[in-house]
Amino acid sequence: MSITEVMINSVTNFLEAQTTPIAKLILLTTLIAIYAIFIFYFYRFLAKKNLIELNLNQYNKYSAGTTFKIIALAFYILEYLILLPIITFFWFTVLSMLILLLAEGLALEIVLLISAALVASVRVTSFISESLSQDLAKMLPLTLLGVALTNPRFFEFVSHIGRIAEIPLLFNDILYYLVFIIITELAMRLIDLIVHIRKEGEALKTPDEEAS
């Protein structure tokens, strides 16, 4: 028997030994509270238009010229091509694990597909309305919790331990979905930048037209 199997059996035996109602109540309350806290921070953070608010450009001491543009580009790359993938990877991975544990019977590739689609759609809608994005971000996780709590098999800890053992398999194909999310984010930021430039151009043209 492998070390992993020994650990799984040990945890399973411990959970099954908690037969008293108060022990089960404490365990269930703790799990729901932890899950709710995570979802609270998950949807509030992921639904923000600007995930990263470090504003690294404030440390740029050059105010004009080619040097300013190069340093500004370097800061942008650091924020959105290095830090953003790390942050996205964290939320995407944790969300995938939660769906894997709560959504009974879903294959791993479906879990990754749902997680990636949810994260990507939340990021897209955050550029339109952060309120809409927040509602979307918390809808599926809270729905999964409600469905899981009403499923009799939710309290069969053995099945959950078995699903936990599948978590490492999520990382086999996670890179493809992560790249899709990052490309979607950068595309939305490019579109948002173009719209912003056009609005500024129209604002500058209006006074000139009125003067003429």
Q: What is the pLDDT along the chain (212 residues), one digit of tens a residue?
A: 444 454 445 545 555 555 577 777 787 788 889 888 888 888 888 888 877 665 545 555 555 556 666 666 676 667 777 777 788 888 888 888 888 877 777 888 888 899 999 999 998 998 899 899 989 888 888 888 888 777 766 666 555 566 677 777 777 878 888 889 888 988 888 888 788 778 777 776 655 555 55
CA atoms of 175 and 8, how far apart (whole Å)? 28
Whether the Cβ atoms of residue 80 and residue 104 lie closer than 8 Å to each other? no
- pTM here is 0.71
Whether the Cβ atoms of residue 78 and residue 171 lie closer than 8 Å to each other? no
Exposed / middle / buried, residue 5 (Cβ in 10 Å: 0-12, 13-18, 19+): exposed
